[in-house]
Amino acid sequence: MIKKNETAVPKPLLGLLLALGAAAGLSAFSDRIDPYHLDVLIGVGINIILAVSLNLIGGHTGQFSLGHAGFMAVGAYAAAAVTLFLGPRLIPDAAPGGFQENALFLGALLSAGLAAALAGLLVGIPSLRLRGDYLALVTLGFGEIIRVLLQNFEPLGGALGLNGIPPYTTVFWVVASAALAIYVVGCLVRSTYGLGFKAVRDDEIAASAVGLDPARYKVVAFVIGAFFAGIAGGLFGHFKMTITPSGFDFTRSIEIVVMVILGGLGNTFGVILAAILLTLLPEVLRPVAEYRLVLYAVLLVALMLLRPRGLFNFRLGRRVSSS
C-alpha cells in the first residue's frame, strides 16, 4: 500500500506565499488593468471570502447560518469607524496609497475581523443548544437585530449609513485576504483537529463519544467564519465607499448561502468556483437583471432536487462493495 503523506511538506504554506506574491504583483500592475475588470475582480474576491467562511460554519460544521451578512455588517462598520474616526487623528497628513494609509487599513481590517468574531461568539453560543432550522432562524434573527440596531445608532449614521469611506480597498488587499481565508479554512479542516468539524456535523453524540467537544467546535467555527466575514465587510465598505444597514439584509445572507450550496456544502474548491460564477453571472446577465433573483431561486430549488451535494461535486464516493 502506498502511503501518501500529505502532511510531510508544507505545500499549503507555499501556496499561500505564492498567492500573496501574486496579489502584490497584480496590484503593481493594477493601473494597467481596465477599472471595470478590477471592480469585478474585487467583487469576486470579497464573495470568495464570504463563501469560504460561511462554508466553514455551514458546510464543514453543519451549522446552517442565515446571518452571515450580519457579521459582514459588523465588520464593515467597525472598519469604517476606524478609518473615518480614528484615521484623521492617527495619521492626519498621510500620503494617499502610502505606508501609513495601508497600515491604518490593515488595522481597520483586523478590527473588522475581531469585532465580527466577537459577534460570532455571541451567535455561536445559542448554536450550542439548537440545530437545523431552529439555528437557521436564530442566525437570521441575529442578522436582523444587527440591522435594526445599526439603523437606530446615530453615531454610525443610523438608517442613512456611513458615507465618504476612503477607497482603501485594492486588488492586493482583496486577493491577499481571500488567499488567507482559503488557507486558514483549508488547513484547519484537513488537520486532525479539524476533522472534528465534520465529525460534529455528522453526529454530535458520536463526536462527544470520541472525546470531541461539539460546543467548542461550533463556537470556533462561528468565530473564525465571522472573522473572515468581518474582513470581507471591511473590504466591501472601503470598496463601495458607502454602507447602509439595509445593504446587509437577509437577501445578502441568502446570496452567500446560495454560493455555498451551489459549490457543495463542505467543498471548499466548489464553493470558490460558485462564488466566482455567481459574481460574474449578474455581470453577464445585466440585460436581464430583473430576473436575477428568480434565477437564484430556481437554481436553489433545482440544485436541491437534482444535485443536493452541489454543482461541483465530481468526487465519486469511494465506496466498498459489500462482500
Partner 1 sequence: MTELLQQLVNGLSLGAVYALIALGYTMIYGVLRFINFAHADVFMVGGFIGLYLAPHVPGGGTVLGGMLVLFGAMIGCALLGMGIERLAYRPLRGAPTLNVLITAIGVSLFLQAGGQLVFGAAPRSFPAVFPTGAITLGPLEFSTNQLLVIGVAGALVVALQLLVYRTRMGSALRAVSQNPKAARLMGINNDVVIRWTFALGSALAGAGGVLYAVNYPSVDPLMGVMPGLKAFVAAIVGGIGSIPGAALGGLLLGLIETVVAGSPYSTYKDAIAFALLIVFLLFRPAGILGRARVEKV
Partner 2 sequence: MSAPLLQLDQVTLRFGGLTAVDAVDLAIPEGELMGLIGPNGAGKTTVFNLITGVYAPSSGAVSFAGRPLAGLRSHEIVAAGVARTFQNIRLFGSLSVLDTVRVACNRHRAASPLQSLIRLRAFRESEAAVTRRAEELLELFNLLRFRDAEARSLPYGEQRRLEIVRALATRPRLLLLDEPAAGLNPAEKLELVALIQRVHREFSVTILLVEHSMRVVMGVCQRIAVLDHGKKIAEGSPEAIRQDPAVIEAYLGPDHATGLFHH
Residue 31 CA from chain centroid, whole number: 27
The correct pick among 12, 107, 141, 166 for binding partner 1 (CB under 8 A) is 141
Count H helices, E strands: the chain? Answer: 13, 0
Amino acid in the structure at residue 8: A
Residue 265 phi, psi dihedral angles, 5° rounding: -55, 125
Distance CA 93, CA 288 (A): 46
The correct pick among 8, 95, 284, 306 for binding partner 2 (CB under 8 A) is 8
Residue 57 in contact with residue 229, Cβ under 8 Å? no
Neighbour-count burial of 141, counting CB atoms closer than 10 A to its CB (0-12 exposed, 13-18 middle, 19+ buried): middle
For position 145 contacting partner 1 by CB under 8 A, the verdict is yes
Nearer to partner 1, 39 or 133 (CB): 133
310's enclosing H/E stretch is none
C-alpha distances in Å from residue 277, one per residue of 235, 260, 294, 300: 20, 12, 16, 14
For position 221 contacting partner 1 by CB under 8 A, the verdict is no
Distance CA 292, CA 173 (A): 29
Find which of partner 1, partner 2, none residue 133 binds, CB within 5 to 8 Å per kind. Answer: partner 1
For position 163 contacting partner 2 by CB under 8 A, the verdict is no
For position 285 contacting partner 1 by CB under 8 A, the verdict is no
For position 125 contacting partner 2 by CB under 8 A, the verdict is no
For position 151 contacting partner 2 by CB under 8 A, the verdict is no
Neighbours of 320 (CB within 10 A): 5
For position 152 contacting partner 2 by CB under 8 A, the verdict is no
For position 248 contacting partner 1 by CB under 8 A, the verdict is no
- For the CB of residue 290, give the shortest distance to partner 1 in the complex, in Å: 6
Stated length of the chain: 323
Residue 223 in contact with residue 120, Cβ under 8 Å? yes
- For the CB of residue 7, give the shortest distance to partner 2 in the complex, in Å: 4
The correct pick among 20, 38, 86, 144 for binding partner 1 (CB under 8 A) is 144
Nearer to partner 2, 207 or 261 (CB): 207
Which are the contacts of 113, defined by CB distance < 8 A and separation ≥ 6? 75, 227, 228, 230, 231, 234
Residue 68 in contact with residue 116, Cβ under 8 Å? no
- For the CB of residue 41, give the shortest distance to partner 1 in the complex, in Å: 27
- For the CB of residue 253, give the shortest distance to partner 1 in the complex, in Å: 10
**What's the CA angle centered on 160, arms 145 and 162, to 5 degrees?**
95
- For the CB of residue 183, give the shortest distance to partner 2 in the complex, in Å: 8
Residue 101 in contact with residue 95, Cβ under 8 Å? yes
String of contacts with partner 2 for each residue 170-209, x by CB under 8 A? -------------xx--xx-xxxxxxx-xx-xxx-xxxxx
- For the CB of residue 95, give the shortest distance to partner 1 in the complex, in Å: 42
The binding site for partner 2 (CB under 8 A) comprises 1, 3, 5, 7-8, 10, 12-13, 183-184, 187-188, 190-196, 198-199, 201-203, 205-214, 220, 266, 317-320, 322-323
The binding site for partner 1 (CB under 8 A) comprises 62, 64, 66, 126, 129-130, 132-134, 136-138, 140-142, 144-145, 148-149, 151-152, 205, 250, 254, 257, 261, 265, 290-294, 296-301, 304-305, 308
